Structure 1
């Protein structure tokens, strides 16, 4: 019903549907590169460039901002890497609206619904209370943005994480420029703009806030990401990056004095 009524450059087009007995099939437009999950986490392939990741982040944000700004706000409720489809030019199209729900109207801040979604992506307040709002989608977006930055899945069993979720492991480091190198996807080999990456890290930090009211809106996210599309990929060797961070911290201490 949602896909049949909505049209946007960052929403997948519904061609039609089929049903036979208990079998159901939705027919989408063909998306050459499949899902972001397949592109970002597949083994033995070249790392997705920083600029491409930021283009995907912006396209997904625009799709969510459109849904949240509809006459009747629509909460996606299942925003995750596998539901973000990519065409040959890495243009983003959101798909799978099976869990989407109309959001609160008037003075209401949320709707209460049965808890559904994907482990690791759902907002904590929704998992605890069933209270669903557009800010629930913002949290899920923050998780995907973190996956784009780190190149790691939301539930990562790496020894360094000690079984913790990606959010629990990485969020404390997002505000610390000296620790940025530790969490950014090592496959990028330092090819990312330092200032731009720090702004993206801070954006992810805000989206992943435990308090819904302190998270930005998706329109805010779009406004933050759009200027960052102009950054070129810059190679910064790890040793040089650490030295830059140390010098920056020294400058801050001197200013403080």
Structure 2
């Protein structure tokens, strides 16, 4: 063994050595390993009394490592690697199994016997349309994931909504949006053109909206000048028609639950299209209300009974529409009113001016001089009625549309103080949504 040690020490690349006794009286021999320890053949190790590995004395405090110690180290490494590989493999097959169920569900719901027959796009066609999801084609990103502009054969422009693996949403929201919006056809609802469930991708393909979403115009000091009063009033009426359709006239009775400016898309003519039905809930034809333990949506647009108790009905969408209507008229973002402690809500600020007879001051300064004042004031009145604290005090969407079209403001019922008044013992401000929307927690009267 000492001779083998001397030979190994003469080479800097020698990492291990052993002495193997001879058999049948033959002379023994040295075994040496150079570089990384590989090919530790079992028969060679057994034949040797010891295998010595060269290490720095400060690392182990001894000159050698016994074969048992080496074997134990190798066993631990092999077992760890096997467990890791098994975990990855199991996870992969569980994902594929779940994705397979989704794909089958898509086929069952959207193909064959279903009269909707939503097209299924191949991943290759989506990659070609978006230039491999190029950042140059990215339109924006929401809770579901990024949205890209794509160009299909025939130069048809589309919006490609790709589920992000980091998204808080997932398969349930994907299927929910597929099943719902594929069955909805209305001029004021975003049109779903198809989907892709190939590989590990979950993708929705929508008609392309060249003017993006309403919030990109409404809350930008430069872009809002493109929203004259006639355009704003048409947008208000279009949103109301879209919500009325899903509440009353579509094949499915639907509560949207996340109606806000960023979920209203604008086509080339600035016509509104309500989108993002991932949070929506289907009601039975005769069902009026429901409860949930999982409150979803954006705080500030939620009605009090939903935000606090998880109780919702069509009046939840009416409340959200009221907040959105007041944003459109005032040009002010609801979320900004929650950025400072003890600040008023948007509805509360408007209410204070309204009851003092200063409703004109609510109207966005960019359109105040050119708008039809009586029309704008009527919209403010309707918005305040929509954000009443008690659901029974809010109008239905049918009545909302009727009131918006009314010529005489005196025909509207008087409004009460809106919900979420910060004057009622609420001091803390809590952030709930990813886009920084906050709300003062309400207390029931």
Shift of 1:160: 10
User: Cα offset for 1:226?
Assistant: 3.4
The counterpart of 1:85, out of the listed 247, 265, 275, is: 265
SS of 1:79's partner is coil
Matching residue within 145, 165, 171 for 2:351: 171
Per the alignment, residue 149 of structure 2 pairs with none
Q: Which stretch shifts more, 44-53 or 6-15?
A: 44-53
- Counterpart Cα distance in 2 of 1:17 and 1:52: 32
Map of 1:18 onto structure 2: 196
Alignment match of 2:336 (pick from 156, 176, 200): 156
Deviation, structure 1 residue 162: 5.7
Contact 1:10/1:59 (<8 A) preserved: yes
**Residue 219 to residue 161, structure 1, CA distance change in 2 (3 Å):** farther
Unaligned runs of 5+ in 2: 1-178, 408-445
In structure 2, the partner of 1:226 is: 405
Q: Which residue of 2 aligns with 1:132?
A: 312
Match of residue 209 from structure 1: 388
Q: Deviations over 1:92-111 (max 9, x none)?
A: 111110001013553x5411
Alpha-carbon distance, 1:135 to partner: 0.5
Aligned to 1:63: 242
Q: Equivalent residue for 1:75?
A: 255
Kindly tell me the number of residue pairs found equivalent between the two proteins: 226
- Normalised to the residue count of structure 2, the TM-score between the two structures is 0.48
**CA shift at 1:3, angstroms?**
0.8
More displaced, 7-16 or 218-227?
A: 218-227
Q: Distance in 2 between matches of 1:179 and 1:217?
A: 27
Q: What is residue 199 of structure 1 aligned with on the other side?
A: 378
Which residue does 2:363 correspond to in 1?
184
Structure 1: state its 5+ residue gaps.
Answer: 229-257
Bigger proportion of residues as helix = 1
Partner of 1:232: none
The C-alpha deviation readout for 1:188-235, integer Å capped at 9, x for no partner, is: 24222222122111101100110111111111112222357xxxxxxx
Identify which range, 151-160 or 3-12, moves more after superposition: 151-160
- 1:121 to partner: Cα distance: 0.6
Q: Cα–Cα, structure 1 residues 47 and 104, in superposed 2: closer, same or farther, change >3 Å?
A: same
CA RMSD of aligned residues (A): 2.2
Q: For the structure 1 residues 207 and 175, does the alpha-carbon distance in structure 2 shift closer, same or farther, using more than 3 Å as the test? A: farther
1:110 corresponds to which residue? 289
Q: Aligned pair in 2 of structure 1 residues 161, 206: CA closer, same or farther (>3 Å)? A: farther
Q: Highest relative contact order (Cα 8 Å, sep 6+), 1 or 2?
A: 1
After the TM superposition, which segments of 4 or more aligned residues of structure 1 sit over 6 Å from their partners?
A: 158-161
Judging by fraction of residues, say which structure has more strand: 2
